Amino acid sequence: MRVLIIEDEHRLARNIATVLGEQASFAVDISADGEDGLHMAMTNPYDLIILDLMLPKIGGREILRRLRQAGKSVAVLVLTARDAGGDIVAGLDAGADDYVTKPFDMGELVARCKSLVRRAYDRPSPEIRVGGLVVNTAARRVMCGGKVITLPAMEYRLLEYLALRGGQVVSKEEILERLYDFESERFSNVVEVYIFSLRRKLSARGGGPVIHTMRGQGYMLEDVSR
Amino acid sequence: MNPVPLKWRISLLVALVLVAATAAVCGVAYHEVAGSMRGNLESTLRAMVSGVLAAMEDPSEAQEEIRNITGNAALKRAGRYRVWMDGSDKDLYASSSRGDADRAWMWDLQAVSPPQPGQTVFFDAGRDGREYRVAWSRQEDDGEVVNVLVALSSARARHDLREFLNLLLVIASGVTAGAVALGVMIVLWSLRPVARTAQRLRTITHHDLGRAHLEDLHPPAELRPFVDALGNMLARLDAAMRRQTEFTGDASHELRTPLASAKSTLQAAVSRPRQAEQYRQAIEETLGDLDRMDRLIRQLLALARMDESDSPWQHRQLRLDELLADLAAAANAAADANPASLSSGLGSATSGSDASICAKPLPLDGGGWPEGPALGAPNGGEGEGLGLGDAGKPASSRRDGPGGERPRVVCRDMPATTVRGDADELAQLFRNLIDNALAHGPRDGTVTISIVHGAGADSTVAVAVHDEGGLIPHEALGRLFDRFYRADPSRASATGGTGLGLAIVREIVRRHSGQVEITSTPATGTTVTVRLAGE
């Protein structure tokens, strides 16, 4: 999952990015001002935007308004130090999906972020089931055929994304865009490497779904037990 | 004391004026009517006297004739009369029907000073509580003088007069009572807009001020200034309230931001096991956040205290040039003492002996912390008075990121200058200006302080703090001294400023009856000039 943080307090943004990366396996981009942030939000397929309201150049509420005007349905979590009732209502009315006031609890923020992303994929339950595969996005635990599989962060990220899009063909470009932030190095065959590794681990447990390769189109996680 | 209601005061005034006016009118009317009644009586008497004198021409019929003449039917009661010759003590004719007592009374009337012959005098006389009008005429006839005395009761006239007076009183009191009632009604009616305004004012709370409440009242022209003044007052209160709310919101925002930063840093640090270096960095960053909060709280307190009292605590003479030199030296010493903040300490280390730089070494209490600026340890200013805790910590010292040089503070043109003021407050004022200049000027630039004395009779002292920073937008210049205003919000966290420095400057300048202005051009940089009254 790919997240954009638009926040001018760079240490706060960095801390959120760290925790989201470590605890939710999200790929995170950071923007320190409104103009840059709006541009990034407009040009990249983010699953979630964490938006500060008091920003240099373009304010958070204006960013929200322009995003919604442009038809972007990306989930937006507003982050602000202003918590007057009117501000919260105005933020939600402008199209925010959730609201957290500073100072906040990091664990709560991460939980809210995960919940927003799940909802964005129309999966309100933290557990995604595809055949014998159960991906618990809250605990970041993967079970296949009743047994726990331990996955490295990137592999988990890929499997979670494929599971969220279960039954759909996901292109390699989409995977690269969703799973990597700007800072990550992207090797041309990195997706193939992870897919290979995942396939091997899933088939070793048995009963799980299969990752199909659709030549020229991408990959699809499919339940073949039925 | 409960003042008498306006309606009663106005009514009383109206009543007094009306009573005076009706009394005057009644008095005049009474006088006229009384005069006219007396005139009627006298002309009757005069006619009787003439009749009596005429009747005496024929002595045989005289007695009967006189009785007829004096028996005025209109008066219902016959007049009394006496006719006698001068020197005689016997009446020629007299109304004799009423006996001796009556006659004796008529004789007594003669005692008043008699008229000249050919004249008639009129006078009042009373008997047994009855009023009479008396005419006494003396006529010369063949060398003898005939006296004719006729008395007519004036009871009827007096009775009529009294009735007339009663009528006047009834009318006057009726008019007065009516006028009072009308006055009360007029007062109540004319005060209705006031009552409406009051009703409207009662509904206004501090949550919802503003002149809009009074806009649809449409008061009469006389009340327009009153309602307008109320509206203006509400607008002023509204503005003050909004400023206060905004200030509270800004203050909470400014406090929450470092708090959020600190909390997130620590939570991120403890979310999983990390290396010692990472923990150390998290703690240092958190200490920096705490320091920022500490400074903000001090400055908020400073502003709150200055809002409370209008004048400095201690006014005394002090040497402004020495104060500025100390502040400049402290700022430079802080830069020298914190080479850790520089990627290369060489640039500034060599300039310490430059004669033009007021670099009196100021020992910095590092408190045993190896990393001065990053740790932000309090610098021994605690308890020295307001804001002194910031001593030696120019805002630029907490600038993060790469940077080679630090600006130097240079004193230029520092004539001996004495001003009256509060030493702590003035030190804080200029420290804030120096910190600001250091934070906003270029890293390798110079902050210049100079004092200019007013020419001739002008005893003001102008202190200019100049930096080589870029242009501040014109529209921002006017708001720079507002609380929490920042010309460039993106640098809020970069400079470490609280957004209150210049607001405190303005407050202190105001308390010293001075002036402060800021000019900024791309060519020369930014100059803040503070004008104070010199000694």
**pLDDT tens profile A152-172:** 888 888 898 888 887 788 888
Q: Pick from A14, A15, A52 the residue to mutate for testing the B interface (most B CBs within 10 Å).
A: A15
* Number of inter-chain CB pairs under 8 A, A vs B: 73
SS3 B222: coil
- What does the block give as tokens for B295? 């400074």
SS3 A78: strand
Q: Which residues are A147's β-sheet partners? A: A144
In whole angstroms, give the CA distance from residue B294 to residue B468. Answer: 29
The answer, yes or no, to whether residue A203 has pLDDT greater than 60, is yes
- What does the block give as tokens for B333? 């010493």
Closest residue in B to A9 (Cα) is B493
Return the closest-CA partner of residue B453 out of B421, B510, B413. B413
In whole angstroms, give the CA distance from residue B65 to residue B58. Answer: 9
Q: Which CATH number fits domain B317-533: 3.40.50.300, 3.40.50.850, 3.90.660.20, 3.30.565.10?
A: 3.30.565.10
The phi and psi torsions of B246 (rounded to 5 degrees) equal: -60, -40
Q: What does the DSSP 8-state code read for residue B64?
A: H
In whole angstroms, give the CA distance from residue B82 to residue B213. Answer: 91
| Residue A226 CB neighbours (<10 A) | 4
In whole angstroms, give the CA distance from residue A203 to residue A196. Answer: 11
Amino acid at B189: W
Which residues of chain B are modeled with pLDDT < 50? 339-404, 491
**How confident is the model at residue A83, as a pLDDT?**
67
* B261/A18 CB distance under 8 A: no
CATH 3.30.70.1380 at B6-164, yes or no: no
Higher-confidence residue of A120 and B282: namely: B282
* A11/B264 CB distance under 8 A: yes
* A12/B264 CB distance under 8 A: yes
- What does the block give as tokens for B472? 């501040």
Provide the shortest C-alpha distance from residue A222 to chain B (in Å).
35
Higher-confidence residue of A5 and B417: namely: A5
SS3 B143: coil
Question: Is residue B89 packed enough to be buried (19+ CB in 10 Å), middle (13-18) or exposed (0-12)?
Answer: exposed
* A19/B488 CB distance under 8 A: no
- The per-residue pLDDT for range A10-48, each reduced to its tens digit, is 889 999 999 998 888 888 999 998 999 999 999 988 999
SS3 B37: helix
- What does the block give as tokens for B332? 């430079």
Nearest neighbour of B261 by CB, restricted to A12, A18, A19: A12
- CA B387 to chain centroid, in Å, comes to 37
Give yes or no for A57 touching B (CB within 8 A): yes
- What does the block give as tokens for B141? 């006839």
DSSP output for B412-464: ------EEEE-HHHHHHHHHHHHHHHHHHS-TT-EEEEEEEEPSTT--EEEEE
Give yes or no for A18 touching B (CB within 8 A): yes
Q: In chain B, which residues have their Cβ closer than 8 Å to the Cβ of A81?
A: 252-254, 256-257, 260
Which H helix or E strand runs over B29? helix B6-55
Q: In chain A, which residues have their Cβ closer than 8 Å to the Cβ of B266?
A: none
Alpha helices in B271-395 (DSSP H): 276-308, 320-337, 346-349, 372-375
Give yes or no for A56 touching B (CB within 8 A): yes
Closest residue in A to B286 (Cα) is A11
**How confident is the model at residue B405, as a pLDDT?**
63
Q: Which domains does chain A have, with CATH numbers?
A: 2-120 (3.40.50.2300), 127-222 (1.10.10.10)
Domain with CATH 3.30.450.20 in chain B: 6-164
The answer, yes or no, to whether residue A109 has pLDDT greater than 90, is yes
Domain with CATH 3.30.565.10 in chain B: 317-533
Q: In chain A, which residues have their Cβ closer than 8 Å to the Cβ of B259?
A: 102-103
In whole angstroms, give the CA distance from residue A131 to residue B284. Answer: 49
* A32/B490 CB distance under 8 A: yes
SS3 A48: strand
The phi and psi torsions of A221 (rounded to 5 degrees) equal: -90, 120
Q: Over pLDDT 70: what percentage of chain A?
A: 94
SS3 B121: strand
* B265/A15 CB distance under 8 A: yes
- The per-residue pLDDT for range A40-98, each reduced to its tens digit, is 999 988 999 999 888 888 888 899 999 999 999 899 999 887 766 677 787 788 889 99
In whole angstroms, give the CA distance from residue B436 to residue B56. Answer: 130
What's chain B's length in residues?
Answer: 535
In whole angstroms, give the CA distance from residue B229 to residue B408. Answer: 53
Closest residue in A to B273 (Cα) is A22
**How confident is the model at residue A20, as a pLDDT?**
92
* A103/B285 CB distance under 8 A: no
Return the closest-CA partner of residue B375 out of B308, B460, B285, B473. B285
**How confident is the model at residue B344, as a pLDDT?**
33
pTM > 0.90: yes or no: no
* A101/B256 CB distance under 8 A: yes
Angle at B266 between CA B264 and CA B267, to 5 degrees: 65
Nearest neighbour of B257 by CB, restricted to A9, A18, A57: A9
Buried b or exposed e, range A46-69, using 16+ CB within 10 angstroms: bbbbbbbbbbbbbbbbebbeebee
Nearest neighbour of A82 by CB, restricted to B253, B261, B267: B253
**How confident is the model at residue B389, as a pLDDT?**
35
Provide the shortest C-alpha distance from residue B255 to chain A (in Å).
9
